[in-house]
Each structure stands twice: as structure tokens, then as C-alpha cells.
Structure 1
Amino acid sequence: MGQRPESSEYLNELSKYISLVPTEGDICTIFREQTDEICSFISNLTEEQGEHRYAHDKWSIKQMVGHLADTGRIMSYRLLRVARGDTTPLAGFEEKDYVLNANFDAHTLEKLLAHYKLVRESTQALLDTLPEEAWTRMGTVNNGAISARAVACLMIGHDLHHLNILKERYLI
């Protein structure tokens, strides 16, 4: 599915992530290539780098990788629900609470990266098997309407946002 969502298919506040998704290329292919890029980038970091924070009140790189895995799992569930036509409203989630209670820093960066990769591979399997009509189905998440293709683009844009933060603020 190559077509990007219309702005009416998601809350305006999500445009900061969805606008990061390349306009050219198939969403499934972009997702797959992004998984490879992020996994390759993070696999080149050391355990010491994984513990780095660019400020005392910011997440460590390990916590960020854990956050990406958690968010990916939540977004994949949202994608499944919307794509399958489930119109039951879904609540938002508090990302800071997830990171606070996960104890990501107790795990190796390698283990956290493996977890992230598994979540992405599972989501990729879902994306690759969605029928064409599922991409434009609408659901409700966090009190706003959203399409399945917007959820997929949100996942891509969210991870790209965090990859950019890693490159710009953590590894300078």
C-alpha cells in the first residue's frame, strides 16, 4: 500500500510524525527498510553508549530502544484493530509511565534490540497481509479518528523521530 493518508484520517497533532514518512515508496517497504536501518544503527552501539543520556532527566539509549519496542507493540495492536474494522474506541497511553516501570536499563542493549526487532517483524507480517480495503478503514484512538494507513505511517514517523533524536542529541 503506497498511498499516504489524507490529513482527515488522523488527528492534526500526529502530523509531526506522519510528515516524516517519505512520500515515495510503498509503506510496507519503507517499514521494512526502516527496521533494518534502525537495527543496524543500534547494533553498532556499545553497552556503555546504551546507558548514555544527553541530560540527567532524559532517557538512556536503552530506555529509548525499550520505548520504541513498547510503542511498536501498542501501535501494532491499534493497527490490527482498525484494519479489521473494530470500531471500539482505544485509549491513549502514557509513555513515561511505561519507561519508568520497565527497568530497561537492567537489560543489555543487545536484548532490547532483539525485542524491538521481534515487534517490528511481527508488525511487518501484519502489514504484508492486509487486504487493500483495510488500509483506509477508520477507527478511534485517543478520542480521534484514524485510518489503518495513518497508524502505519505514525509507526514509521515515530521511530524516525526517535532515530533523529539519537543521532542529533545522543551521539554528538
Structure 2
Amino acid sequence: MLVPTPEQIHSYATIHERIAVAIAELTPNQLQMRPADNEWSIQQVLLHLPDSEAVGYERIRRIIAEERPVLQLYDEDAWACNLHYHQQDPHLALELFKLLRQSSAVLLQQLPAADWKRVGLHAVNGAMNLYTIFQTYLHHGEAHLRQIEDVKRRLRGDR
């Protein structure tokens, strides 16, 4: 049976620390700079993280609490545009991301192994068990940390 390792849950719960280090020296202007017209700024990434995590927070809990719940989709680009990510506080967003992640990590650490097989129904991906949803969000934080580091390199002119 697939269950996350303690190291995976720790990484999931603490990715915000590595992101905070990655943005520590950036100015507000640097956070706002977009490397290309069709790419997000670091600020947009930082605001996306808690919004995406809120969706994940809800999905995780629905899978645990309900029998085969439907997992709603959301349009992340519409959220970035219509929720005015460029005007919001990126540090507050990172704090919210941290709290959502830590809350879920505490819950996930307490689950019996059988609960990791519980399933939600995703409109695009079909039936997804809790373990797969967890892996998706674990990798999501890591992917956005790599994106932040890439944007920083590109803004400095490194390739």
C-alpha cells in the first residue's frame, strides 16, 4: 500500500521555508518583474501558492471525509488575473500557504494507512486516491520553487 514517507510529509509541510529563503533578498520591483509576457512573475507564483493550496486543502479533506467526492477544477490563470495577484501582499500569501500546508500535514500524519486509498473523482484525471493527490501537491510546491529560482536567474541575465 502506498503511503507517504515521514520525509515526504516533512518536505510538504516545510517547503515554504525554502521559498522564503529564495525570495529573501528580492525587492518589490523584482518580485513584480515578469521574465516574458506569457510567464508569471515571482509575485504571481507566490499568490498562486495559497490559492492552489486552498483547493488542495479542500480536496484532501473531502477525500478523507466523503465517499468518492467530485473534485472541482479551477482556472489558475483566471484567478491570477481576476484576483489581482500583482496588487496583493506576497509575504502574507506565503504565510497563508505555510499555514494551509502545516494544517494538512498534521492531519495526514494521523491517518491510518487504509485512508490513503480513499478516492475522489477529478473531472479531468478521473478517480484519484489520496496518495496521488498528496504527491501532486508535494511536487507542486517543489515545481514552483524551481520556477522562482529560474525566474531569478533569468532576471539577473543568467541562463
2:143 aligned residue: 161
In the alignment, structure 1 residue 125 sits paired with structure 2 residue 106: yes
- Equivalent position to 1:150, from 117, 122, 132: 132
Matched residue pairs, number?
153
In the alignment, structure 1 residue 65 sits paired with structure 2 residue 46: yes
CA 1:118–1:53: 2 relative to 1, 3 Å:
same
Q: Distance in 1 between matches of 2:147 and 2:58?
A: 25
1:19 aligned residue: none
| TM-score for the superposition, normalised by structure 2 | 0.82
CA 1:61–1:108: 2 relative to 1, 3 Å:
same
Deviations for 1:33-61, whole angstroms, at most 9, x for unmatched residues? 32322233234433222111111232221
Q: Distance in 1 between matches of 2:104 and 2:24?
A: 20
Moved over 6 A (4+): none
User: Conserved in 1, the CA contact under 8 Å of 2:47 and 2:88?
Assistant: no
In the alignment, structure 1 residue 106 sits paired with structure 2 residue 87: yes
Q: What amino acid is the match of 1:146?
A: M
- Counterparts of 1:7-18 in structure 2 under 5 Å? none
**1:25 positional shift:** 5.5
2:153 aligned residue: 171
Q: Distance in 2 between matches of 1:109 and 1:35?
A: 12
Deviation larger for 146-155 or 119-128: 119-128
- Equivalent position to 2:18, from 28, 37, 46: 37
Q: Distance in 2 between matches of 1:51 and 1:31?
A: 26
Q: Distance in 1 between matches of 2:6 and 2:99?
A: 23
Q: Distance in 2 between matches of 1:2 and 1:30?
A: 17
3-state secondary structure, aligned to 2:71: coil
| TM-score for the superposition, normalised by structure 1 | 0.77
User: Conserved in 2, the CA contact under 8 Å of 1:35 and 1:117?
Assistant: yes
Q: Unaligned stretches of 5+ in structure 1?
A: 5-23
Q: What amino acid is the match of 1:49?
A: Q
Q: Unaligned stretches of 5+ in structure 2?
A: 155-159
Deviation larger for 127-136 or 24-33: 24-33
CA 1:35–1:134: 2 relative to 1, 3 Å:
farther
User: Conserved in 2, the CA contact under 8 Å of 1:2 and 1:25?
Assistant: no
3-state secondary structure, aligned to 2:72: coil
Q: What percent of counterpart residues are identical?
A: 24
Deviation larger for 91-100 or 26-35: 26-35
